[in-house]
Amino acid sequence: MSDIKKVVLAYSGGLDTSVIVKWLQETYQCEVVTFTADIGQGEEVEPARAKAEALGVKEIYIDDLREEFVRDYVFPMFRANTIYEGEYLLGTSIARPLIAKRLIEIANETGADAISHGATGKGNDQVRFELGAYALKPGIEVIAPWREWDLNSREKLMDYCETHNIPVDFSGKKKKSPYSMDANLLHISYEGGILEDPWAEPEEDMWRWSVSPEDAPDEPTYIELTYEKGDIVAIDDKPMSPATVLAYLNKVGGENGIGRLDIVENRYVGMKSRGCYETPGGTIMLRAHRAIESLTLDREAAHLKDSVMPKYAETIYNGYWWSPERKMLQGMIDETQDVVNGKVRVKLYKGNVIVVGRQSEDSLFDEKIATFEDDAGAYDQKDAEGFIKLNALRLRIAANKGRNQG
């Protein structure tokens, strides 16, 4: 049927990807290499090895990518204060380019002809995986089973498992969630189930990482974040690695009811989708980063940076991490971060992230000029008259021509 001899599969060890292993072996008569990434999903990834071995897989990759994920993908994105459609912190989107990169690296190492993934034909992830793969290896073949097979329900997948003696434990220790979930160190997402009705409120027991704001502690939690060149390097003066920073912020944020989001978003493939997200650490990071920038960035640099952020967010959401436009935008963003150094103190209270202090050796805040008290001549208020008149000149000329009528 095909010239494909070996395929690298992004493998979770769950129902869908375990079926895909057997389906690839039968449909393409090819060898399957599995790749399982630990990007902080909070579940054991090592059991995927035994499951892959039971399916006859000889080459098995299980990689701890948590530090690389936060250092090289999450942190650069947060330097831009990135947010999609005013709300979404791109937790799923930002993980895909790293997985795509590693799939291609393994394909090169193993001499594979193709890669494969378990993303459906309705979602954004198929686009993100494949755009990344083609950007890094233009001639790679991509096999997307959900666009080829007729196993379009859980029941059909289970029947396939029974027919083909696929040894996967789908019961687990926890009750099966009715939602489609995706988790990494930045967030956990929920789709499907009652969420397909945009009017239906999510059930409280859906949320995994955070308490409800109503149930959060009655006393606030204070933390201090230390920034170097736009990245958090310490919390409460304790140096931390990027992944450790985000894991800690997820914990303390979740304990204070921070980071829940319920949105309807516009997918790149054209449809609207309702999803719920928990991003406690990212929510804190966004607020704190804007606070340290407010102190250290020049006004016009900050405003220009804000103006390109929606394009940067859209570029990541749509899967163009490896594109020239994203790299160009990243270079501009990173150039601004040399002066983004200092500390931010935040108060976490019942779902709120409240900035209560910021300081920096690179601060552009000049108290002598900004003070409402006697500034000893640091700022001549008479200068404002000429400034205003010059800026009003075009308005006054237009008004004289009768153009500024209410």
- From the number of C-beta atoms within 10 Å of its C-beta (0-12, 13-18, 19+), residue 361 rates as exposed
Q: Which residue has the tokens 């942190």?
A: 75
* Catalytic, out of 102, 125, 260, 360: 125
| DSSP one-letter string for 368-394 | HHH-SS--TTSS-TTHHHHHHHHHHHH
- Residue of 63, 71, 72, 180 marked active site: 180
Nearest-angstrom CA–CA distance, 176 and 158: 14
Active site residue 79: no
Q: Which helix (H) or strand (E) holds 36?
A: strand 31-38
Tell me how far apart the alpha carbons of residues 52 and 13 are, in angstroms, rounded to a whole number. Answer: 7
Residues 256 and 218: beta-carbon distance below 8 Å:
no
Active site residue 96: yes
Long-range contacts (CB closer than 8 Å, 24 or more residues apart) made by 120-123: 120/146, 121/146, 121/147, 122/269, 122/271, 123/267, 123/269
The CA distance from 108 to 212, in Å, is 46
Catalytic residue, chosen from 16, 63, 72, 334, is 16
380 catalytic residue (yes or no):
no
Among the listed residues 79, 96, 102, 274, the single catalytic one is: 96
Contact 146, 10 (CB under 8 A): no
Residue of 239, 249, 314 lying closest to 278 (CA atoms): 249
Residues marked active site are found at: 16, 96, 125, 180
